[in-house]
A and B are shown apart, each in its own frame.
With several copies, the nearest count.
Chain A
Amino acid sequence: MKMLINVAETVVADALRGMAAAHPELVVDVDHRVIVRRDAPVEGKVALISGGGSGHEPLHGGFVGPGMLSAACPGEVFTSPVPDQMARAAAAAVDSGAGVLFIVKNYTGDVLNFDMAAELAEDEGIQVAKVLVNDDVAVTDSLYTAGRRGTGATLFVEKIAGAAADEGQPLGQVEAIGRQVNENSRSFGVALSACTTPAKGSPTFDLPPGELELGIGIHGEPGRERRAMMTSGEIADFSVGAILDDMTPRNPVLVLVNSMGGTPLLELYGFNAEVQRVLSERGVAVARTLVGNYVTSLDMAGASVTLCQVDEELLRLWDAPVKTPGLRWGM
């Protein structure tokens, strides 16, 4: 599998250099792998820090900026960042008093590394709270697993908690809002092809023509189940169905129809039409819809759907201005 890279070893560093050049409004520390808002630390403002393996762009680095994250810590491709990165980000992004909120996708590696970073930051006298994102309904019997994965809902948590933090809400409240968003969110993803990591150089699994993987995560792992290829409409029925089996929204929802990276926008918009059809058939009201590449898995073809129930307050925070490379409106 060909890639537009120099060598596998420098992929993340190269991308950070390119990000620095494209986004002078961010401070990109290529050596220490931390991306920080240029205006940080903002006095009295809770700092939001997230991070995770690279390969999911624009998540997380592309969501740093006013109205969203204070800082992001990119690991190697599909590899959680190390604690030093988050500790450094906390020191750089945080106003000593207000504290920092870690937004952590629920993977063993992410949890362990952020926990260790929290210890380091607390040693420096920084107050740390944490929101764990675990929205993926494809992981069912979570008693016998590492629990549900964090996927598309991460965007909702980062955006909505980010808006609350930018309004000056205190740490406990920003944390509570982040948790509420996560609890209100569910995702389901499918793959039409595997992705290729730079380190491996070939697809992470074999998917014959005529088959698809249902219930995939965002790290090139196979899903829960392999089936004969389905139409866009059938995939929407299955994906939205899996979500609604697990949650019955009483309030309107935010809808994220997300490409895993390799599925073009033309197909993705068509898939959105089917997702909206299923939602309307199931009586779910839609408040806002976002269609695009947001939480990707390198070049994987496929898509995921995330729904997030919102009350008026969460919707207000969703609509609040945001100015990041990956998500921008109102400023």
Chain B
Amino acid sequence: MLDAAFFRRWMTATAASVDREAERLTALDSPIGDADHGSNLQRGFHAVTAELEKEDPQTPGAVLTLAGRHLISTVGGASGPLYGTLLRRTGKALGDAGEVSEAEFAQALRAGVDAVMTLGGAAPGDKTMIDSLVPAVDALSDGFTAARAAAEEGALATTPLQARKGRASYLGERSIGHQDPGATSSALLIAALTEAAGE
């Protein structure tokens, strides 16, 4: 079972890996974007960890809705509302249970990813964060490590794609050959699950 402490560790681990990888995320956002993805997420996850300290939410659902809310109100850009919605909807789907099973979490995360697709209108193959989130959710029934591998693979697989959503799409065919920054940060988010689980 996963408790509030697990989800707090998830957020902390994500914040740490975003800090480590911020320059790389911004660099990926340069050739096909506007060179801000790393600093966007850094700002957001710093706020999330600070607010988790301050408000100390007691259920998995509360941890994630709080995180989502603060991403929305600190990140901006496309990724702020999208990641914010992902965590908020996942959190809402978890309700107010004090602990949730991995299967319940997998189902909730799918609801979150569906909400991102509805909000942003992106489908798999559009070269967005969806391309690592969807495979990760699909693999989650096989455990966090499987989800992590699927997300990382999904991120790498965005390289040959032509973007159809987000600002990379303005480049047309010139977006081909570059890995998507949002898919890359999604893989970090999923990878942080294994850290939170101590795997």
Give me the interface of A with B, judged by CB distance under 8 Å.
8, 53, 75-84, 107-109, 112-113, 116, 138-141, 144-146, 149, 197, 199-200, 204-205, 217, 219-222, 224
Contacts and interface: CB of A to CB of B under 8 A. Distances in A.
A38 to B, nearest CB: 26
Interface string B68-80: 0000111111111
Name the prevailing secondary structure of the B interface residues.
helix
Nearest to A196: B35
A144 B164 contact: yes
B166 A76 contact: no
Given A80-B76, A82-B73, A199-B36, A116 B81 contact: yes
30 contacts: A53-B34, A75-B76, A76-B43, A79-B40, A80-B80, A82-B72, A82-B75, A83-B72, A83-B73, A107-B78, A107-B167, A108-B78, A112-B82, A112-B119, A112-B120, A113-B77, A113-B81, A116-B81, A144-B164, A146-B170, A197-B34, A197-B35, A199-B26, A199-B39, A200-B30, A205-B30, A220-B35, A221-B33, A221-B34, A221-B171
Given A146-B165, A205-B30, A217 B81 contact: no
Contacts of B74: 82
Name the prevailing secondary structure of the A interface residues.
loop
| Chain A to chain B: the 8 pairs with minimum beta-carbon distance, closest first | A112-B81, A145-B169, A219-B34, A109-B78, A109-B77, A108-B78, A78-B34, A199-B39
Given A80-B80, A112-B119, A200-B26, 16 more contacts: A8-B39, A53-B76, A76-B43, A76-B76, A79-B40, A79-B76, A82-B74, A83-B72, A108-B167, A109-B79, A112-B82, A145-B163, A145-B170, A200-B27, A204-B34, A220-B35
B170 A149 contact: yes
A200 B81 contact: no
A84 B73 contact: yes
Contacts of B166: 108, 146
A149 B168 CA distance: 12
Contacts of B81: 83, 109, 112-113, 116
B31 interface: yes
Given A79-B40, A146-B165, A224 B171 contact: yes
A254 B12 CA distance: 50
B40 A116 contact: no
Contact of A82 (B27, B80, B82, B164): B80
A138 B32 CA distance: 15
B160 interface: no
B135 interface: no
